[in-house]
Amino acid sequence: MRPRRRAGWAPVMFLAPFGLLFALFFLLPIGYAIYESFLKVHVSGLGLGPGTSTTVFAGLANYGQVFSDSSFLQGVSRVLLFAVVQIPVMLLLATILALLLDSVAARFKRFFRLAFFLPYGIPGVIAAILWSFLYLPGLSPVVAALHGSGFGTVNFLGTNSVLWSIANIVTWEYTGYNMLIIYAGLQAIPADLYEAARLDGASEWRVATRIKLPLVTSSLVLTAVFSIIGTLQLFSEPQVLRAITDNISSSYTPNLLAYTQAFTANNPNYAAAIAVVLAIGTFILSFGFLRLVQRRGAAV
């Protein structure tokens, strides 16, 4: 039973500090981004000197530009391709590792769990720097080893291969984290649920696929949604790799494009429109995904 007495001012006092900061640093920027995205800087003449540029209401002009900007559309299709390949690979690997750690057969579980989880303790930027050394010909022992074993000179930084080199960095960083979410879900299943099945002679494989997996669907959905959000925001890894390759343009991902527009092209209104489109797109995709799995009858 919840206390039915009138709460008075107490909940307001508890909520106010967080609420104020949430309004200032979450709601206000969102509102401001939307506002900015409807404005445009109108430049008269050559745009030199003060007073030659004025900010005017532009309606949906910035949004029109976003959807007809080929570099934006290329960036979007690039991250979507990335998401379609990298997320399933990573989540499959994470699920297999979680199931193995939870199974009776495996050994040295504690060591393995720590080993898989370790990369998550390394921040994304540093992970990307670290891998950039391992991709760099001349410095990388991986390139050298592949060359030595007859694979020729593998170029991790080529026009097409660099996207998958980024995918490898992301997979390396987050597989262990996702594994731990799924593993936590597995550990929360009461053991008697599948011990009965084992007594009936069900194989470890059947126990895993028929009993364990359906029960951790909500964990899998959580990891998928977080991965979708993360992938669409892809920024640090390509930004770091730009230092060692020319094959990552300044508009390689939508976020890189927004960053370039805001700070190099000095076009914050357009950058705001990109950020808004990206945020809405992320919302639609993650909610769409949730809807999809919910309709399929998953216990979310």
* Among 111, 160, 200, 295, interactor with other proteins by CB under 8 A: 111
Q: Which residues pair with 54 in a beta bridge?
A: 42
By the rule CB under 8 A, 36 interacts with other proteins? yes
Q: Which of 47, 59, 64, 123 binds other proteins (CB under 8 A)?
A: 123
| Binding residue count for other proteins, defined by CB under 8 A | 112
Determine the angle formed by the axes of helices 141-148 and 124-135, rounding to 10 degrees: 30
Q: Is 120 in the site for other proteins (CB under 8 A)?
A: yes
Candidate segments 43-51, 80-88, 114-122, 156-164, binder of other proteins by CB under 8 A: 114-122
- Angle at 137 (CA atoms; ends 134, 141), nearest 5 degrees: 50
Site for other proteins in 49-88 (CB under 8 A): none
The Cα 266–Cα 260 span in angstroms is 8
The CA distance from 27 to 193, in Å, is 45
Site for other proteins in 180-239 (CB under 8 A): 180-181, 183-185, 187-188, 190-192, 195, 204, 218-219, 221-222, 225, 229, 232-233, 235-236, 239
Least distance in Å: CB of 250 to other proteins?
14
* 43 three-class SS: strand
Instruction: Evaluate whether 44 touches 52 at the Cβ level (below 8 Å).
Output: yes
Residue 249 interacts with other proteins (CB under 8 A): yes or no: no
The rounded distance, in Å, linking the Cα atoms of 246 and 175 is 28
Q: What is the DSSP letter of 252?
A: S
Select from 107, 246, 296, 297 the one that contacts other proteins (CB under 8 A).
107
**124 or 249: whose CB is closer to other proteins?**
124
44 or 195: whose CB is closer to other proteins? 195
Contact 256, 75 (CB under 8 A): yes
Residue number with CB closer to other proteins (83 or 276):
276
Whole-angstrom Cα distance, residue 285 to residue 288? Answer: 5
Query: Given the complex with other proteins, which of 46 and 104 has the nearer CB atom?
Result: 104
